């Protein structure tokens, strides 16, 4: 792609209109693609549409889906009442609304999650190729780091509170859902039985002992998973929005250390860690990426420390 020129990235209603003007096959290829589009105009439309839908427009889309789901819930209750009167078997008929509600909930969650991940990937693979269309925001970097090593770990208090909320919510649901749904709550209880040990392990193994998540020093970048690279193998640092909610929090970012050869760090990983690194490469352009949420250092501090240790280019992409 031509790095000397790119058209302006549309926003809001203009981005939605430009996206609808693309043919269906192009839209499908953009949502499923893992690389930037060859046409800078189309790439700009893809970035603008993704940012619009991941922002305020996404909330409107979710409200529309919630309205449809509410109508389906009402229809399922009417169907259950009708079957009760028709078959004179309340036990069988009363299961119909429950089955429809559970299936609709799974469909809603999977559908919205799949679309959000595709939009994130479409934005992040096309935005870095628009060299002239992305103007890096100025860094207000703090001054304490002057080429000194920096060790980043989880913020113990913030992360522990997050886990406490997760345990409380899932625990309450594990008590209430069997009372309301009976044996239909079995899949949820199985899910809790899988998630609780994983959360407890992560809390005890990583958060409470304050194990390093990322280490920056004169030798390069080292992650807590054991993978690392020297500075000579890092071509640039990209700072992407962290898309975990309807509106990105400007304090929370994804910091991706782009490698000259991503196969090198991937070869040193195995199992689920290698799978996570591959997904990071797909969504953020590098297998070496870390989210600044719930860390004991801010995005600015991490990037400033990296630049102070080695003059690596930094590109920061706007959240909207």
Instruction: Quick: pLDDT tens for 75-89.
Output: 666 665 655 555 565
Rounded Cα distance, 31 and 125, in Å: 11
pLDDT for residue 3: 45
Rounded Cα distance, 225 and 202, in Å: 13
Rounded Cα distance, 266 and 244, in Å: 25
pLDDT for residue 95: 59
Q: What percent of the chain has pLDDT over 70?
A: 72
Does the pLDDT of residue 194 top 80, yes or no? Answer: yes
pTM confidence score: 0.73
pLDDT for residue 235: 92
CB 35 within 8 A of CB 73: no
Spacing of C-alpha 53 from chain mean position: 14
Instruction: Quick: pLDDT tens for 20-64.
Output: 999 999 999 999 988 889 898 999 999 999 988 887 555 555 555
Instruction: Quick: pLDDT tens for 98-146.
Output: 666 666 677 777 787 888 889 989 988 888 887 644 545 545 555 545 5
Rounded Cα distance, 195 and 179, in Å: 21
Instruction: Quick: pLDDT tens for 238-291.
Output: 998 887 655 556 678 899 999 999 999 998 888 888 999 999 998 888 999 999
Q: Which residue has the tokens 């196969």?
A: 263
Does the pLDDT of residue 178 top 80, yes or no? Answer: no
Q: Which of 90-94, 104-108, 146-150 has the lowest mean pLDDT?
A: 90-94
pLDDT for residue 200: 87
pLDDT for residue 193: 82
Strand pairing class (253-259; 289-291): antiparallel
Strand pairing class (228-229; 212-217): unpaired
Does the pLDDT of residue 4 top 60, yes or no? Answer: no
Instruction: Quick: pLDDT tens for 228-249.
Output: 899 999 999 999 888 765 555 6
CB 319 within 8 A of CB 119: no
pLDDT for residue 306: 92
pLDDT for residue 2: 43
């Amino acid at each position: 792609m031509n790095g000397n020129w790119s058209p302006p990235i549309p926003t809001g209603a203009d981005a939605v209109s430009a996206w609808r003007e693309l043919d269906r096959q192009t839209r499908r290829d953009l949502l499923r693609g893992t690389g930037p589009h060859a046409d800078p105009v189309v790439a700009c439309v893809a970035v603008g549409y993704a940012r619009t839908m991941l922002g305020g427009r996404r909330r409107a889309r979710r409200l529309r889906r919630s309205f449809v789901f509410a109508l389906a819930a009402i229809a399922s209750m009417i169907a259950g009442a009708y079957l009760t009167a028709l078959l004179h078997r309340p036990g069988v008929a009363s299961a119909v609304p429950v089955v429809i509600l559970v299936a609709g909930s799974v469909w809603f969650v999977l559908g919205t999650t799949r679309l959000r991940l595709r939009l994130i990937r479409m934005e992040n693979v096309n935005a870095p190729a628009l060299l002239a269309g992305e103007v890096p925001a100025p860094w207000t970097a703090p001054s304490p780091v002057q080429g000194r090593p920096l060790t980043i770990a989880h913020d113990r208090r913030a992360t522990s509170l997050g886990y406490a909320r997760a345990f409380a919510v899932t625990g309450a649901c594990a008590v209430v859902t069997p009372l309301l749904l009976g044996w239909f709550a079995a899949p949820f209880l199985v899910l809790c039985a899988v998630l609780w040990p994983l959360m407890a392990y992560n809390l005890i193994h990583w958060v409470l002992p304050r194990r390093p998540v990322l280490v920056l020093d004169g030798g390069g970048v080292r992650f807590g998973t054991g993978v690392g690279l020297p500075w000579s193998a890092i071509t640039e640092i990209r700072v992407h929005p962290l898309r975990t909610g309807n509106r990105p929090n400007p304090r929370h970012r994804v910091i991706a250390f782009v490698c000259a050869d991503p196969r090198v760090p991937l070869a040193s990983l195995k199992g689920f860690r290698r799978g996570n690194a591959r997904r990071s490469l797909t969504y953020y352009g590098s297998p070496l990426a870390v989210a600044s949420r719930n860390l004991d250092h801010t995005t600015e501090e991490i990037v400033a420390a990296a630049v102070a240790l080695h003059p690596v280019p930094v590109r920061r992409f706007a959240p909207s």
